[in-house]
Structure 1
Amino acid sequence: MAKKHQAWIHVGMPGAGDVIESALAHHHAALVELGVASVAQTTAESFRAAVEMTRSHKDWGIKRTDVEGQWSRLVRRAERARADLVFSQPLLATATPEQVALLVDALAAHRVHVVVTTGLDDEAATVARWSAACRKPERMHVLETDGLEPGEVWKAFGALVGFGTASLRLDAVPHAAAAFQSLPDALREVERLARRNASLEVRLEELDRKRRKLKRKLGQVA
């Protein structure tokens, strides 16, 4: 019987761990070479998947049809790499037990690990809700980030999942520089702006699809 691949879900609290989502998306191609497939290849993709799973589309002013099926599509695409999967999105920290179960259901072919990075908010409730998804206690991981810079958190996360980060630098990763703020208020603002940017990316993609569709129709009329 073939050994199951692992699936690592990062649902960290707002804080230094925020950089993980952007870093995974930015380095998704390089990660495959290291034996790990990022489920999302852009932060817009991870945002849409988290919005779908947490049923929060109305809160973000997004149509349900714009996010419906996003998570399962991303998982199927990532599985083609035949590697361990990894995904990160802070919104998942608020997922209910039912939403957690639905998300994990798409990962039935994998041994699911959950990583919670500590941050500005208390992580106890999040750990409790996500523990059931792991099936075994040793697959629930809490990564302490107190006093760590984002680069150190990224390195620690990579070591936990099983990939090195020496060649996966944060210099060019969007939002990574902003995450180096240390004041709680500044970190909360970074979190808010990152989520806002992801929401805008989703809307821009939708507008671009409509523009291309209209262009095709006009071409047919001409």
Structure 2
Amino acid sequence: MAKKNAFLLVGPALPSADRLQETLTGAQDLLTTAGLTTPDVNQADLDRSAIELLRTHKAEGLTRKDVEGSLARVVRRAEKRKAAVILGHPAYAGIDATQRSLLLDAMSGFRTHVVITAERGQPGLDDLIDAWATQVKPTRLHVVTFEAGDGLEAVLARAVEQAREAHEADLEKRIGKLKKKRAELKEQLEELRSA
């Protein structure tokens, strides 16, 4: 069975990031246009997954036990969805190469697309793109930039457009494979008929 797409919003910037999951959940009509859904999680679940990855539980006044397994729970809930999923946390931009590997390994059941969201002209954006490019295929790395006054809904609309384009490309690829298979089967049928 083919893997589903997962679109991972990693920041570093996102307007009103503290209500990202709430906004995604409320934007089902928009998400449906790109064949997307959200996992059954809340913002606190995603916050704990970021704390677990960054290992900042002490700074947050938590114990390791409080956050252990948070990412795995988020991923399991995403895997239960029948459609492609979109999720993320702006703190994921601050993870190092080892932590990126852990995150991508956790998401190994998906074709993971990384969506970097940043304010136009944000310092360090090229370095962030380069860091993710070492671990994600170029066709699965997307950058969505926005202006200082843009709201979360506008940024998400751009990210969903990226997801829609990726979904269309996947469908075109599948159509190409099916056409090739059909041509092969027709050729085999002709060979049988002429024998």
> Given the two structures, how large is their TM-score scaled by the length of structure 2?
0.71
> How far, CA to CA, are the matches of 1:71 and 1:32 in structure 2?
25
Match of 2:161 among 156, 159, 162: 159
Equivalent positions of 1:72-221 (< 5 A) are 72-119=72-119, 120-134=122-136, 136-146=137-147, 149-150=150-151, 151-162=153-164
Contact 1:17–1:154 (Cα < 8 Å) also in 2: no
SS of the aligned residue for 2:134 comes to helix
Which residue does the alignment assign to 2:36?
36
Describe the shift of the 1:17–1:158 C-alpha distance in structure 2 as closer, same or farther (beyond 3 A). Answer: farther
SS of the aligned residue for 2:51 comes to helix
> How far, CA to CA, are the matches of 1:121 and 1:42 in structure 2?
30
Q: How many residues align?
A: 161
SS of the aligned residue for 2:65 comes to helix
Displaced runs of 4 or more, over 3 A: 15-22, 25-35
Gaps of 5+ in 2: 166-195
Larger radius of gyration: 2
Describe the shift of the 1:27–1:152 C-alpha distance in structure 2 as closer, same or farther (beyond 3 A). Answer: closer
Gaps of 5+ in 1: 164-222
Which residue does the alignment assign to 1:13?
12
CA deviation after TM superposition for structure 1 residue 138, in Å: 1.6
> How far, CA to CA, are the matches of 1:159 and 1:60 in structure 2?
35
CA RMSD of aligned residues (A): 2.7
Query: Of Structure 1 and Structure 2, which has the larger fraction of its residues in strand?
Result: 2
Query: Cα deviations across residues 150-200 of structure 1 (Å, max 9, x unaligned)?
Result: 23212111211239xxxxxxxxxxxxxxxxxxxxxxxxxxxxxxxxxxxxx
CA deviation after TM superposition for structure 1 residue 28, in Å: 6.8
SS of the aligned residue for 1:16 comes to coil
> Given the two structures, how large is their TM-score scaled by the length of structure 1?
0.63
Describe the shift of the 1:15–1:84 C-alpha distance in structure 2 as closer, same or farther (beyond 3 A). Answer: closer
User: Taking every aligned residue pair, what percent have the same amino acid on both sides?
Assistant: 29
CA deviation after TM superposition for structure 1 residue 57, in Å: 1.0
Contact 1:17–1:145 (Cα < 8 Å) also in 2: no
Describe the shift of the 1:92–1:110 C-alpha distance in structure 2 as closer, same or farther (beyond 3 A). Answer: same
> How far, CA to CA, are the matches of 2:147 and 2:33 in structure 1?
31
Query: Cα deviations across residues 25-59 of structure 1 (Å, max 9, x unaligned)?
Result: 44579957974232362111110111111111112
Amino acid at match of 2:38: S
> How far, CA to CA, are the matches of 2:51 and 2:57 in structure 1?
6
SS of the aligned residue for 2:91 comes to helix
